[in-house]
Structure 1
């Protein structure tokens, strides 16, 4: 086997491996090697016991297989390559297995659909056909794929118990519905394959577009009489004084007057008349410590915190305020994730950078060094700051990450 591993045969074995894997591991057909060097010609001559003198060679795989079996190797071509490694893959058999699994999975899904009130509904069969064509389920582990499509059918049958497009006369909590059809309250959580499949079915049944973002997904759930979780995720706010006349707006104004922060849920944002005076400048920060410090200092400027990432509830609030012509100023961490988030906020809301320029970064870095603050290395892949072409280069040159707390006194001055 040592001779077979010599470099002069490496191109031969690579070409043979490709041919075998495509032909069901059978040594059939020929391969042609071109631009042979001296070492390759010598190795092929020794292997096949005939001279190779030109710069190209045509080799019949049956002849090579016979030669290996008759030689000291004592095994056929496929066994030889398997021994040389890595293991061979019978791609034809693999394709046949995938096709057979798709057929089996499709038959099982059709049978599951036929056992529900959706059996005679064109939209339900179109839904199943679209899923099968997409290959989504075929890419899942065998047991997972069957469980997922079965649970999706059961969930849609629960929502449309009479068939057709008429919804059940009941409002489900999404966790309750998930428990009913999957056994887990998190079975229909956002981002799961099951939730995506069910939403695709609801969209077809209701003849609406498939949702592409979190707000439209929640809207489609509600359209199907399913209440998504709108209370567990919150956005941290401070100093909001909406002009509305309900007790909710009055409560926000009172909390602002007493310098208290407020966590708002998606559910509250749906019912609040959250309109600030037109042109109000709203400051947006990344870290909750800024809100805490603003409250301790009795600052009055409106402030919203992304808490490290702009989640759906954060964007919902900012979208609401942007619709009332509020203006935004944004500050975040001077690190690459911070720049990424700042790019997102400044682009979406035309937010003004708030002490987020290259001179701001240089000043804070110099001040930290003078104070003897241990430097925090700037790691990761650099991100271009869309609002200041010099910022990324400056950060990369100094190599120091600065969190928002490094600028806390300056930010509080701006909020006064």
Structure 2
């Protein structure tokens, strides 16, 4: 309930005093909520001059007015309302925020976070080690991620010290799963999942302790975990393949050849790829597609040529397989969707592996657009920002001109014919 009479409040809230209260509020919030110092109002109009004269108790005649806040505070307290400047401002608007105190509080909380980390390190086996000092300095420099509360930050940093003590301390050693390690440290098997702040903290410590660079990709981060005998989840993500016939007597190589003999697709995990010897005949051509339906169609048609599917944007396990095939001397041919994300993916794959475009030119697109239209196939609009195809400067203009998105499934007959060795 307002402490000001309604008539007084209405007058104080009038347009003639709006700039005064705005400037006074800004000054109080910045100087510790003290009615000290002065403020200057310029280009004062007649209405403002009249109301300011009444509030300040002196006749104002110019277009510039200097207001001493201590005098204004005394005038307000001596008035019928009996309220000081701060109380009047809060009657007319929101409570005053002491921004100086807020900043001091934030600084104190920040210092509490880093003092807690320093204390945790000092009582750990890593105390005084060069990498631990550098780790602490790096973390202070990077700061706490936006939105992480101080108590949460303290808990997470202490968990990081605990995990690093387990992995790098004198009792370390022995292979353990990342989920098991996370559950022990945080109570959740997902506490060290890739992308979490805790995982990044621990990985930075591992990198510094092993004098290696902090990786900027998923494959590098997996390798970092393996440096300390932590096995990430290497079974949930797979790469879809067909017709791979690696040379070798291991059971994995034999299993792939048997699946190829039976025209069956194969899903390979990261764990498979670690133990698989991918030796193939020199210059073997591996066809790469974007959509699993192509693999399905190739298997149904008993195709004879090898095929790897990115299943959309290529995940780490896909790139790991393609990297291994490239290292084995294989060559590649790539086909994907005729839409802008498909062109972006094709650019990456073709550039990374020197792949030849596989029915991915402007003529292929125009022919497919015409044939699907003649067949009465519904035409999907081509949305998004155009992307130039590095292998064919005419493709993006042709796609932009026709404005039709054509997915890989629409050209299955042609792709299967090539994979069957008929063309």
TM-score exceeds 0.5: yes
1:404 is displaced (CA, Å) by 1.2
Aligned to 1:293: 297
- Bigger drift between 60-69 and 230-239 goes to 60-69
Query: Would the aligned equivalents of 1:282 and 1:327 in 2 still touch at CA under 8 Å?
Result: yes
Aligned to 2:125: 117
Q: Does 1:132 align with 2:136?
A: no
Aligned to 2:69: 62
Q: Does 1:158 align with 2:166?
A: yes
Aligned to 2:412: 408
3-state SS of 1:184 partner: coil
3-state SS of 1:236 partner: strand
Q: When the two structures are superposed, what TM-score results if normalisation uses the length of structure 1?
A: 0.82
Q: When the two structures are superposed, what TM-score results if normalisation uses the length of structure 2?
A: 0.81
Query: Would the aligned equivalents of 1:82 and 1:88 in 2 still touch at CA under 8 Å?
Result: no
Aligned to 2:108: 100
Query: Would the aligned equivalents of 2:25 and 2:89 in 1 still touch at CA under 8 Å?
Result: no
Q: Distance in 2 between matches of 1:173 and 1:108?
A: 28
Aligned to 1:272: 276
Change in CA separation of 1:152 and 1:67 when aligned onto 2, cut-off 3 Å: same
Change in CA separation of 1:16 and 1:247 when aligned onto 2, cut-off 3 Å: same
1:406 is displaced (CA, Å) by 1.4
RMSD across aligned positions (CA)? 3.5
Structure 1 residues 26-69: Cα deviation after superposition (integer angstroms, max 9, x where no partner) = 566667788x7xxx85675466454565xxx6755739966995
3-state SS of 2:367 partner: helix
1:273 is displaced (CA, Å) by 1.4
Larger Rg: 2
Equivalent runs, 1:187-336 vs 2, <5 Å: 187-336=191-340
Query: Would the aligned equivalents of 1:102 and 1:138 in 2 still touch at CA under 8 Å?
Result: no
Change in CA separation of 1:109 and 1:254 when aligned onto 2, cut-off 3 Å: same
- Bigger drift between 224-233 and 15-24 goes to 15-24
User: Aligned pair count?
Assistant: 403
1:372 is displaced (CA, Å) by 2.1
Aligned to 1:388: 392
Q: Distance in 1 between matches of 2:350 and 2:11?
A: 63
1:334 is displaced (CA, Å) by 2.2
Unaligned runs of 5+ in 1: none
Unaligned runs of 5+ in 2: 1-9, 54-59
- Bigger drift between 291-300 and 382-391 goes to 382-391
Change in CA separation of 1:198 and 1:393 when aligned onto 2, cut-off 3 Å: same
Q: Distance in 2 between matches of 1:396 and 1:181?
A: 53
